[in-house]
C-alpha cells in the first residue's frame, strides 16, 4: 500500500524537534519507505522558518513541506492534510503524527503490521500503536500482541483511504459550517454540539464484508452524552463521532510504542495531562525483537470486566 506520513507543526520548536528526532531513528524513515509531508501552519507565533530549518538540517528524508500562508488552526490543518493526501494525491494509507509525540524505532513497523492485519476486517476505521497502559517492561512484554478498542485522543494513528472516504462527508460538512469563517480557537461550540446531536440522530451504517464484529458489550460510544457546556468540539471529536456513525471501530495495541509528552498545547495543561493519566504512561521503548507480527483482540480485563473507553 502506498503510505504517507503527515506531521504537524505550529510554534513549539522544542516539541517539533523532539518528534522529528524520534522519526529519524525509525528504519522505515531512514530507508525512505514512507513519504513524509510536513504541514506547518501559518500566522502569528507559527515560527515556520525555524521549523523548516529543523526539518532541512535534520537530514531526515521527506517528500514535501507545506507551509500555510495563514493560520488554518488545528481543525482545518488536519482535515486539509487528509484531503490532500487522499483526495488529491491518492495515497492508500496515511499515518498522522502530531508534534508532541515521540515514537520508538519499533513504532512504524508495529503500526503497519497492525494495519495490515486489520485490512481483513471491513469495520476497522483506524489503528494506532500509542496507548496509555500503565506498567513496566517485564509486566507489559507478555501483552505486546494484544489489541483493544479505543476512543482515546487522536495523537497519532493510521487510517486508510477507504475509511476516510466513509467519514469525510461528515468532516467536510463540519469544516464548511464551523471552521472556514472563524478561527479554530473561536469556533462556535454550542452550534457544533447541536451539529453533533443531529449527526447522532442519523441511523448508523453497517459495512459490508468480513467484519471484526466486536461484542456489543465491548463497543463504547465515544460520546455517551453531548453536554452543551463540556462536550469536545474539535475535529478529532468529530472524526471519532463520524467513525462511530459509519460503523467503524478504532483499534490500538494494548502496549504503547510511543510517548505523548504534550503537557502544554491548545487543548492541554499540566493539570489536564495528569487528569487524563498521561503522566502514568507505561514502558514504551521496545527493541526490534519485541515487534508483534500477529495480534489478538482483548475485550475484557483480568477480572473479566468489559473494557470501556470514551473519547478523552
Name the percent of the chain lying above pLDDT 90. Answer: 86
Asked if residues 92 and 1 have their Cβ atoms less than 8 Å apart, the reply is yes
Report whether pLDDT(266) > 80: no
Could you give the residue ranges of the DSSP H alpha helices within the chain? 13-23, 27-30, 48-58, 73-82, 107-118, 137-140, 161-178, 189-201, 235-245, 270-275
Would you state the pLDDT for residue 2?
96
Query: What region does 124 belong to: left with phi over 0, alpha with psi -120 to 50, or beta?
Result: beta
Instruction: Judge whether residue 245 has pLDDT over 80.
Output: yes
* 63: in domain: yes
Q: What is the pLDDT of residue 272?
A: 85
Round the average pLDDT of the chain to a whole number and report it.
95
Q: Is residue 115 part of a domain?
A: yes
CATH number at residue 180: 3.90.550.10
Give residue 121's pLDDT band: very low, low, confident or very high (50, 70, 90): very high
Q: How many Cα atoms occupy the beta-carbon half-sphere of 288 within 13 Å?
A: 4
Overall average pLDDT of the 143-163 stretch: 96
Q: What is the extent of the structural domain holding 111?
A: 3-297
DSSP classification of residue 84: I
* Position 171 in a domain: yes
Nearest CA-CA partner of 45 in 180, 153, 183: 183
Give the three-class secondary structure for 64.
Answer: strand
For residue range 171-195, what is the model confidence (pLDDT) as tens digits?
Answer: 999 999 999 988 999 999 999 999 9
Per-residue pLDDT reduced to its tens digit, 90-108: 999 999 999 999 999 999 9
Confidence band (pLDDT; 50, 70, 90) for 198?
Answer: very high
146-149 and 296-297 strand pairing: parallel
Would you say residue 76 lies in a domain? Answer: yes
Residue 193 has what pLDDT?
96
Domain count, the chain: 1
94 touches 2 (CB < 8 A): no
Instruction: With respect to residue 308, please indicate whether it lies within any of the assigned structural domains.
Output: no
Calpha distance 227→206 (Å, rounded): 27
pLDDT digits (tens, 9 = 90+) for 28-78: 999 999 999 999 999 999 999 999 999 999 999 999 999 999 999 999 999
Q: Is the pLDDT of residue 312 over 80?
A: no
Per-residue pLDDT for 265 more than 80? no
The Cα 288–Cα 282 span in angstroms is: 18
In a domain, 142, yes or no: yes
Sign of the dihedral through C-alpha 52, 53, 57, 58: negative
Given a cut of 90, is residue 229 above it in pLDDT?
no
The SS3 of residue 287 is coil
Higher pLDDT, 308 or 303: 303
Band (228; pLDDT cuts 50, 70, 90): confident
Residue found by looking up cell 523532539 in the block: 18
Instruction: Examine residue 49 and state whether it is found in any structural domain, yes or no.
Output: yes
Is 230 within the bounds of a domain?
Answer: yes
Amino acid at each position: 500500500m502506498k503510505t504517507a506520513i503527515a506531521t504537524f507543526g505550529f510554534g513549539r520548536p522544542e516539541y517539533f524537534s523532539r518528534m522529528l528526532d524520534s522519526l529519524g531513528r525509525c528504519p522505515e524513515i531512514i530507508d525512505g519507505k514512507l513519504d513524509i509531508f510536513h504541514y506547518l501552519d501559518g500566522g502569528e507565533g507559527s515560527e515556520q522558518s525555524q521549523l523548516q530549518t529543523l526539518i532541512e538540517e535534520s537530514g531526515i528524508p521527506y517528500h514535501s513541506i507545506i507551509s500555510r500562508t495563514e493560520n488554518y488552526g488545528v481543525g482545518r490543518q488536519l482535515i486539509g492534510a487528509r484531503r490532500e493526501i487522499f483526495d488529491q494525491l491518492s495515497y492508500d494509507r496515511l499515518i498522522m503524527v502530531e508534534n508532541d509525540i515521540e515514537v520508538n524505532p519499533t513504532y512504524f513497523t508495529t503500526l503497519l503490521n497492525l494495519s495490515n492485519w486489520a485490512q481483513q476486517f471491513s469495520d476497522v476505521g483506524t489503528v494506532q500503536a500509542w496507548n496509555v497502559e500503565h506498567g513496566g517492561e517485564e509486566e507489559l512484554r507478555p501483552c505486546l500482541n494484544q489489541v483493544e478498542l479505543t476512543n482515546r485522543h487522536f495523537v497519532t494513528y493510521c487510517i486508510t483511504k477507504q475509511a476516510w472516504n466513509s467519514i469525510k462527508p461528515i468532516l467536510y460538512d463540519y469544516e464548511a459550517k464551523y471552521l472556514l469563517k472563524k478561527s479554530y480557537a473561536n469556533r462556535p461550540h454550542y452550534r457544533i454540539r447541536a451539529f453533533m446531536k443531529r449527526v447522532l440522530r442519523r441511523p448508523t451504517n453497517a459495512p459490508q464484508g468480513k467484519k471484526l464484529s466486536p461484542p456489543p458489550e465491548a463497543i463504547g460510544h465515544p460520546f455517551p452524552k453531548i453536554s452543551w457546556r463540556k462536550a469536545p468540539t474539535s475535529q478529532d471529536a468529530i472524526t471519532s463521532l463520524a467513525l462511530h456513525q459509519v460503523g467503524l471501530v478504532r483499534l490500538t495495541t494494548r502496549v504503547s510504542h510511543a510517548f505523548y509528552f504534550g503537557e502544554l498545547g491548545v487543548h492541554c495543561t499540566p493539570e489536564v495531562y495528569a487528569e487524563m493519566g498521561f503522566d502514568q504512561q507505561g514502558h514504551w521503548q521496545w527493541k526490534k525483537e519485541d515487534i508483534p507480527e500477529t495480534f489478538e483482540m482483548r475485550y475484557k480485563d483480568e477480572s473479566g470486566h468489559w473494557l470501556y473507553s470514551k473519547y478523552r
